[in-house]
Structure 1
């Protein structure tokens, strides 16, 4: 049993579909790097009003291979959707001089999974920097990546669920505290007796 806090494929597809619809894209190139990326994009590719013949779908096998872009240009396709792992992207685009793109009709749109201006995120960043014992400045804020944010979100969700679990009505089954429990441990064969109750607190 597990709790997946990552945005669902449905939500990501809605975001992609909203982008293509609002920007009125008739044809575009989709570049993905993993099979899960293609799975995420299936709903977008099969959405009503999307002409399959106007979509070029390619898998990224070599970040230095530009043949995909050359192929897209030859088909008069200039709109691109990138669904890539962090390992295949650069995180320093804010250090680039994008002034020339401003006057060449280039629109770079990116989705962020968390709002840095949110008070909840600001508090999380504050505690994160205190824990890391580093200064909370613009340079160090780049270390607060999406992966870090998702980890903190998961830990916060677990802490809230566990707090609800402890403050709930006491059952006849005593709480059995197990040091460093593991999903792969042999304790006990049927699992922790209070596991389902704790799991239910995530859904409230």
Structure 2
């Protein structure tokens, strides 16, 4: 978990009888950490872990009997929906997750097709089991916004791609215009 997020959680104005415990887990101590928290009577957990470690956390919680209605896990991994949660579904555990992807959206199938074409053309694997991870979706959306902004600005064909240095204060002549179009681009019309 990055320090900024941890600071926000710890400094939140909790009730006076609330307690926040922070633990760093890895594959070697995850079960022990869960058992320790359970012995201390802790029932509410926030986990900010990689997708693989989130799955491992749930597996270990199931093994130690913490996947039940008395425990609540807030899982901050934005790719939670790509994890197979079938083994945890019927134990009435309280799992809360978040997603930036509206996987019921009609345009998602078009995105999958575009990513699949790119995978086939470049002989790489981006989608795992047909699911689009958040990072891939964000990159895809960023390119859509850029393409829409360039199209709206009508500067794509006349751009002078001169070299600019990050160390100097020189500005690209179309930078301000492109910035405005980026901020006003609406790609939903495209889908």
TM-score by length of 1: 0.59
Q: Which of 41, 60, 65 matches 1:76?
A: 41
CA distance in 1, matches of 2:138, 2:180: 20
- The count of residues paired between Structure 1 and Structure 2 equals 152
Mark the CA change 1:95 to 1:71 in structure 2 (over 3 Å): closer, same or farther.
Answer: closer
Pairwise mapping of residues 78-93 of structure 1 onto structure 2 (< 5 A)?
78-86=43-51, 88-90=53-55, 93=83
Instruction: List gaps (5 residues or longer) in structure 1.
Output: 1-31, 168-174
CA distance in 1, matches of 2:44, 2:34: 10
Deviations 1:40-86 (A, max 9, x none): 243344334455842111233x3321343233123210221111234
2:138 aligned with 1:150, yes or no? yes
CA distance in 2, matches of 1:98, 1:69: 16
CA distance in 1, matches of 2:174, 2:23: 47
Instruction: List gaps (5 residues or longer) in structure 2.
Output: 56-79, 122-126, 185-191
- 1:161–1:202 CA contact under 8 A, matched in 2: yes
CA distance in 1, matches of 2:12, 2:85: 36
CA distance in 2, matches of 1:81, 1:55: 10
2:84 aligned with 1:94, yes or no? yes
CA distance in 1, matches of 2:140, 2:109: 12
Highest RCO, 1 vs 2 (Cα 8 Å, sep ≥ 6): 1
Q: Which of 102, 126, 129 matches 1:140?
A: 129
1:178 positional shift = 1.7
TM-score by length of 2: 0.62
- 1:164–1:201 CA contact under 8 A, matched in 2: yes
Aligned to 2:41, the other structure's residue is in SS state coil
Bigger drift between 49-58 and 78-87 goes to 49-58
Residue in 1 that maps onto 2:153: 165
RMSD: 3.4
